[in-house]
């Protein structure tokens, strides 16, 4: 029987919830299958980190109207998460405390950004707060969650991806992404492994 590693959240920990937005949930313009099912888990994690004094970060796609990633502009995706539209809003049931940091990415027409660290000041903000470990979840496991985790490792953070608090586009792509993340030192965990002191 394998022993499950339990983790306690401290003040030097950050929770990064990636792109839990209307357009990435069922009914949106670019839905991730079962994307809305992670909202209750995400809310529990937010409450835990707030209680333990950890930093809470929400990243969001915040695209201009004619972003290069859109099919109409030669990109791979349908138009999604356009600035100041309903699709760009966070899921309505997501708990966002006043202390949370909101990071907007892919805000320039001619620049793509999947990672919450790409083109933002997130790393500087976390460094200034003394953050050493980051716990990442959200949408999608095989796109923006993966990119954020890979950047976090490169930037020197002890990096965890919370598998049951994330959803991906396809099973095969998620499995491949998890392997890729593990190969560079990202730890894949379940939300139940995070305990309060």
**Secondary structure (3-state) at 59:** strand
For residue 1, being part of any structural domain is answered with no
Verify whether residue 23 is a known catalytic residue. Answer: no
Please tell me the predicted confidence (pLDDT) of residue 197. Answer: 46
Q: Which of 36, 118, 144, 187 is catalytic?
A: 144
Q: Please give the pLDDT value at position 3.
A: 65
Quickly tell me which residue has 């209307």 as its tokens. 22
Query: In whole angstroms, what separates CA 148 from the centre of its chain?
Result: 7
This prediction has a pTM of 0.96
For residue 19, give the CATH number of its domain: 3.40.50.850
Mean pLDDT, contiguous 10-residue spans, the chain (197 residues): 79 98 98 97 97 97 95 94 97 97 96 96 97 98 98 98 97 97 97 77
Task: Kindly state whether residue 2 falls inside one of the protein's structural domains.
Answer: no
**Who contacts 132 (Cβ-Cβ below 8 Å, separation ≥6)?**
12, 13, 157, 158
Residue 60 lies in a domain: yes
Domain that holds residue 24: 7-195
Active-site choice (36, 105, 142, 187): 105
Query: What is the number of structural domains in the chain?
Result: 1
Q: How long a stretch of residues is the chain?
A: 197
Q: Is residue 132 part of a domain?
A: yes
Within a domain: 151: yes
pLDDT of residue 159: 98
Q: Is residue 41 part of a domain?
A: yes
pLDDT score recorded for residue 1 = 47
**Known catalytic membership, residue 61:** no
- Tell me if residue 36 is catalytic: no
- The radius of gyration of the chain's CA atoms, rounded to the nearest angstrom, is 16
């Amino acid at each position: 029987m394998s022993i499950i590693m339990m983790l306690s959240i401290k003040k030097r920990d950050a929770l990064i919830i990636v792109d839990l937005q209307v357009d990435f949930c069922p009914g949106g313009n670019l839905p991730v299958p079962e994307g809305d099912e992670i909202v209750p888990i995400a809310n529990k994690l937010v409450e835990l980190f707030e209680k333990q004094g950890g930093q809470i970060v929400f990243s969001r796609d915040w695209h201009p109207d004619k972003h290069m990633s859109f099919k109409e502009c030669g990109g791979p995706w349908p138009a999604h998460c356009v600035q100041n539209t309903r699709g760009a809003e966070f899921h309505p049931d997501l708990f966002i405390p006043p202390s949370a940091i909101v990071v907007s990415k892919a805000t320039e027409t001619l620049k793509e950004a999947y990672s919450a660290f790409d083109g933002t000041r997130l790393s500087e903000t976390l460094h200034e707060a003394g953050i050493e470990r980051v716990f990442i979840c959200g949408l999608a496991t095989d796109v923006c969650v993966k990119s954020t985790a890979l950047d976090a490792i490169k930037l020197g953070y002890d990096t965890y991806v919370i598998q049951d608090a994330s959803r991906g586009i396809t099973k095969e792509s998620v499995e491949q992404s998890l392997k890729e993340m593990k190969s560079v030192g990202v730890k894949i965990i379940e939300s139940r492994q995070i305990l309060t002191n």
